[in-house]
């Protein structure tokens, strides 16, 4: 085994960033850098599994210097939906491979920007291993059997912790697959549940109100005599942190081998057997 891959986790002050940083510390072949970037908390120190992580202001020059000092560096981004475009541009300018776990922004534009920059990156709306496989399965169904559910109506409800600002990227991806299957449904029609009462009504355990993903997709035939329901309930953040770390190892390997392809999704990580 070669030297451990150095990893910088931006957004470590948030629950998802912290969970990922902790997974990095516990995973063989990875090393958590004792530094991260922050817009509002620069100067603070975050303790994570025995590693004291100093928060510094965002800077292309600072990131480039870290890259030079720590060859093979990979950045993980779990910041804010409004920062995905500017942060991706910063990582590209510094020439650092990255994993964009933050959802939000204009995803088509983001992928186009990252691709044009030639940055090695995994950009995905969903980092959970098994959820990635489910998403890939529905993408296949949509491509293989277009229009199979034409005329059916769809109802989508997704519950997440109150602090999640945007609509679930997984829900958006599955809706796109249902659209290819012939269902007339638009992303704004997704019902977002962020209230405590609503989450409890969906069956979220009280101890997991601060971190969960409960999704229900219900298809109903035009005559209402046939219905299909897909549901996934996730408590905690370990499923996403584990998948993110797999993506770090994947993109580090692609960068080392100078792969001609630079932009990847979690489906690519799955196909490579990294999950």
Residue 209 belongs to domain with CATH number: 3.30.360.10
- Say yes or no: 99 and 147 in one domain: no
Active-site hit among 67, 70, 129, 164: 164
Active-site hit among 70, 160, 212, 215: 160
Contact between residue 50 and residue 74 where contact means Cβ atoms under 8 Å apart: no
| Average pLDDT in the chain | 94
Per-residue model confidence as pLDDT tens digits over 17-66: 999 999 999 999 999 999 999 988 888 999 999 999 999 999 999 999 99
Is 160 a residue of the active site?
yes
Sort residue 129 into left (φ over 0), alpha (ψ -120 to 50) or beta: alpha
Separation between Cα atoms, residue 170 and residue 51, nearest integer Å: 32
Band of the pLDDT at 126, cuts 50, 70, 90? confident
- Say yes or no: 119 and 242 in one domain: yes
Q: Which domain holds residue 203?
A: 129-235
In a 3-state reduction of DSSP, which class is residue 36?
A: strand
User: What's 16's domain CATH number?
Assistant: 3.40.50.720
- Say yes or no: 112 and 152 in one domain: no
Counting the structural domains of the chain, the total is 2
- Say yes or no: 83 and 23 in one domain: yes
Question: In this model, does residue 274 exceed pLDDT 60?
Answer: no
- Say yes or no: 195 and 252 in one domain: no
For residue 242, what is the DSSP state? H
- Say yes or no: 169 and 252 in one domain: no
- Say yes or no: 143 and 249 in one domain: no
Specify the pLDDT at position 2: 73
Q: How many CB atoms lie within 10 A of CB 64?
A: 15
For residue 71, what is the DSSP state? T
Per-residue model confidence as pLDDT tens digits over 239-263: 999 999 999 999 999 999 999 999 9
Instruction: Please name which of 191, 183, 186 lies closest in space to residue 153, comparing C-alpha atoms.
Output: 183
Angle, CA 36 vertex, CA 33 and CA 37 arms, to 5°: 160
- Say yes or no: 216 and 246 in one domain: no
Give every strand in the sheet of 5-10, ordered side by side.
30-32, 5-10, 74-77, 98-100, 121-123, 263-264
Is 164 a residue of the active site?
yes
């Amino acid at each position: 085994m070669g030297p451990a891959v150095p990893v910088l986790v931006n957004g470590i002050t948030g629950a998802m960033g912290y969970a990922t940083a902790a997974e990095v510390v516990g995973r063989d072949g990875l090393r958590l850098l004792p530094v991260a970037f922050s817009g509002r908390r620069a100067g603070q120190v975050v303790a994570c599994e025995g590693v004291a992580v100093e928060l510094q202001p965002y800077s292309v020059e600072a990131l480039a210097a870290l890259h030079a000092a720590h060859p093979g560096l990979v950045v993980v981004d779990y910041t804010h939906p409004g920062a995905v475009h500017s942060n991706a541009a910063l990582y590209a300018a510094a020439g650092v491979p990255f994993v964009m776990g933050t959802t939000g922004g204009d995803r088509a534009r983001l992928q186009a920007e990252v691709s044009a920059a030639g940055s090695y990156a995994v950009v995905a709306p969903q980092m959970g291993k098994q959820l990635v496989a489910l998403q890939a399965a529905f993408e296949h169904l949509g491509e293989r059997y277009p229009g199979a559910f034409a005329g059916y109506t769809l109802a989508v409800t997704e519950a997440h912790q109150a602090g999640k600002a945007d609509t679930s990227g997984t829900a958006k991806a599955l809706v796109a697959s249902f659209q290819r299957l012939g269902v007339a449904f638009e992303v704004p029609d997704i019902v977002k549940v962020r209230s405590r009462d609503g989450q409890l009504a969906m069956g979220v355990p009280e101890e997991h109100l601060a971190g969960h993903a409960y999704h229900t997709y219900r298809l109903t035939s035009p005559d209402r005599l046939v219905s299909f329901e897909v549901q996934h309930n996730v408590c905690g953040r370990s499923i996403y942190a584990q998948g993110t770390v797999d993506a770090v190892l994947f993109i580090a390997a692609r960068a080392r081998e100078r792969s001609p392809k630079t932009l990847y999704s979690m489906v690519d990580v799955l196909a490579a057997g990294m999950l």
